[in-house]
Amino acid sequence: MIAYLPTFQENNDVTWHVRWNFGGVNWPLLWLFSGVLALLIIASVVGAVLKRTAKSGSTQRTIANLNSRTRAWWKMSAIFAITLLVGKNGSLILFALLSFLALREYITLVPTRRGDHRTLFWTFFIITPLQYYLIAINWYGFFAILIPAFAFIFIPARIALAGDTEHFLERAAKIQFGLMICAYCLSHAPALLILNIPNYEGRDSVLLLYLVLVDQMSDVLQYVWGKLLGRHKITPNVSPNKTWEGFIGGVATATLLGAFLSWATPFTRLQSAGMSLVITLLGFLGGLVMSAIKRDAGVKDFGAVIEGHGGILDRIDSLCFAAPVFFHLVRYFYVR
Amino acid sequence: MSAKIHPFARVIAALARGISGVQVRWLGCIPEPRQRIYFANHTSHLDFVVLWSSLPVDLRANTRPVAAKDYWQSGFRSFLAQKVFRAVLVERGAAARLHEEHKGEEHAHSAAFAVIQQLAEAMGERDSLIFFPEGTRGTGETVVEFKSGLYHLAKRRPDVELIPAYLENLNRILPKGEFLPAPLVSTLTFGAPIRVEDGEHKHDFLERARNAVVSLRQKGRAEQ
């Protein structure tokens, strides 16, 4: 009780503590988990019903894909929920692993040469883990510049030392790009956990869940709206599955969802809608950019590790773009 | 009764699978408990371990690599090859060397015969072999001409299935001369069995076998 009082006084938002933190349980987190659980159950039930009613071959295939996606969602949600409950280090390990696996898928697609071997070793085993270690020890200043400043210089230097000049600029640029997207950008999601947002202590994990939830729901909703109403393609050359109907429907509903979730965030309802709009728009652009890379490389997916979804990078491409912008918006407007 | 798998082999296999992120495709055959010779392109020390660990567990104990005696016979390498993976160590290019040294066709022939004899005996009644007919690790850009051992062994053991396999990307994961890996994703594709046709010439067969391996590269991509 005595230990509890000082935080009570520091924190002006008394109502929050009374409403949400009673008994030391992170209620917003649990509420959001319950919401996700409800969604998953609904999706599974709907999928099972559709499977029975599907007649034509192509519909059956779509439903089968939908159901395998749902199964994968169950697993992904469970893993994410567990790491969130474990705490900051749990989330950091999860995202570090995601960065590692995404980078692996990316570099596998991108042509590198023998002379890049040592550089790649550094990229995978030193720079990427270090990026997450810096979050673990709360060293924001170094975290923010490790990859854009130091790795940026290191990569071409190490390749030059290896002595192979063939396609030199291309190789250096491609490795740098992969490191930026897969490690640097993505690491901004768990970096939310080291922002000390006034009057929001102890709830950073909720903000991380908010980002991931809005971002991933935006993907799902764009897919659903696209399947239901999709007619007009946005960029037929880049991603034939993206339609205006899917885009507008998905962005609108995901923004609405974000506004509805404002109770779990440090934002007002309108601010939360704005944040969600930013997340969904950037998520869309992330998906688009990564599609362009896949098109260029002549593949459909970055991998096949997640049933129905493709690779890790296919699943998190939107998050890679949304995370850094969301992080800096929160940091600029809500931290001091 | 199947031979036991060395505990080190299990650990190394698990590591190799993790580092290589290998995706396995059986396109022209399925894993079966019968005697086979798996022959594949060779670019990395990981090749054998990745191929071996991609087989179902019950097949591994009876599947042995064929390795070059000159490289694998000393110290730790010898321990790995002989104790851990039960490799069949053969003299590499014995016949060709004797031939070049002008010791006469007969010597060359008998040396080659001795190696084939050794391999056939090593297979015995139940073991399968993993074979890299290029004879040495390449850069991964091309698959070079096959040595003749595969042909002679196939003639000697017509009862054994010859399974082509293509290992993709391992040259990028652990190239020749590197000690530390770059953990990319690799693909291993098994193709349809081939055999020496009646009256087929050595050269023709070896070229066909090489093409069988190379063709899996494209198939592997298309399947993705």
Where chain A has pLDDT below 70, the residues are 1-24
Measured between alpha carbons, how far is B91 from B66 in angstroms, rounded to an integer?
A: 10
Does residue B116 belong to any structural domain of this protein?
Answer: yes
Provide the domain limits for residue B89. 7-223
- pTM of the prediction? 0.88
Q: What is the DSSP letter of A2?
A: T
Is residue B2 a part of any domain in this protein?
no
Q: Is position B22 within any domain?
A: yes
Probe site for chain B from A114, A119, A158 (most B CB atoms < 10 A): A114
Q: What does each of the 224 residues of chain B score in pLDDT, given as a tens digit?
A: 346 789 999 999 999 999 999 999 999 899 999 999 999 999 999 999 999 999 999 899 999 999 888 888 888 899 999 889 999 998 876 666 666 665 666 776 777 788 888 898 889 888 999 999 998 888 888 899 999 889 999 999 999 999 999 999 999 999 988 999 999 999 999 999 999 998 899 999 999 999 999 999 854 444 43
- Tens-place pLDDT, residues A240-252: 889 999 999 999 9
Domain count, chain B: 1
Is residue B1 situated within a structural domain?
Answer: no
Can you tell me the distance from the alpha carbon of B39 to that of B162, in angstroms, rounded to the nearest whole number? 7
- The CATH number of the domain where B196 resides is what? 3.40.1130.10
Whether A124 sits inside 8 A of B224 (CB atoms) is: no
Phi, psi of A103 (to 5 degrees): -60, -40
Minimum CA–CA partner of B186 in chain A: A108
What chain A residue is nearest to B23 in terms of C-alpha separation?
A304
ipTM of the complex: 0.84
Residue A14: predicted pLDDT:
47
Contact assignment for A124 to B183 by CB distance below 8 Å: yes
Cα-Cα end-to-end distance for chain B: 38
> What pLDDT, on the 0 to 100 scale, is given for residue A156?
97
Which residue's entry shows tokens 């749902």?
Answer: A70
Tell me which chain B residues have a C-beta less than 8 angstroms from the C-beta of A107.
182, 184
List the single residue in A with minimal CA-CA distance to B185.
A108
pLDDT at B15: 93
Q: Which residues contact A72 (CB under 8 A, 6 or more apart)?
A: A306, A307, A308, A309
On whether residue B145 sits in a domain, the answer given is yes
Q: What pLDDT does B191 receive? A: 95
How far apart (Å, rounded) are the C-alpha atoms in residues B32 and B10? 20
Mutate to test the interface with A, among B23, B169, B172 (most CBs of A within 10 A): B172
Cβ-Cβ contacts under 8 Å for A174 (sequence gap 6 or more) = A110, A111, A112
Selecting from B23, B175, B180 the residue whose C-beta is nearest the C-beta of A114 gives B175
Read off the DSSP letter of residue B143.
Answer: P
Q: What is the pLDDT of residue A23?
A: 57
Mutating which of A108, A119, A126, A294 best tests the B interface, going by the most B Cβ atoms within 10 A? A108
**What crossing angle do the helices spanning B149-156 and B202-223 adopt, rounded to 10°?**
100
Residues in chain B with CB shorter than 8 Å from the CB of A174 are: none
Task: Give the DSSP per-residue string, B110-138.
Answer: HHHHHHHHHHHHHHTTT-EEEE-TT-S--
Contact A304 B185 (CB under 8 A): no
Q: Is A104–B181 a contact, with Cβ atoms under 8 angstroms apart?
A: no
Give A83: exposed, middle or buried? Use CB within 10 Å, 0-12, 13-18, 19+.
buried
Is B222's Cβ below 8 Å from some Cβ in A?
Answer: no
| Cα–Cα distance measured from residue A90 to residue A100, given in angstroms and rounded to the nearest whole number | 15
Q: Which residue of B has its CA nearest to A125?
A: B182
User: What pLDDT is attached to residue B100?
Assistant: 64
| Residue of chain B minimizing CA distance to A123 | B182
Nearest to B180 among A104, A114, A121 (CB): A121
Question: In terms of C-beta distances under 8 Å and separation of at least 24 residues, what long-range contacts does A159-168 make, across chains too?
Answer: A159/A115, A159/A116, A159/A119, A162/A115, A162/A116, A162/A117, A162/A118, A162/A119, A163/A115, A164/A113, A164/A114, A164/A115, A164/A116, A166/A113, A167/A113
A103: distance to nearest CA of chain B, Å? 9
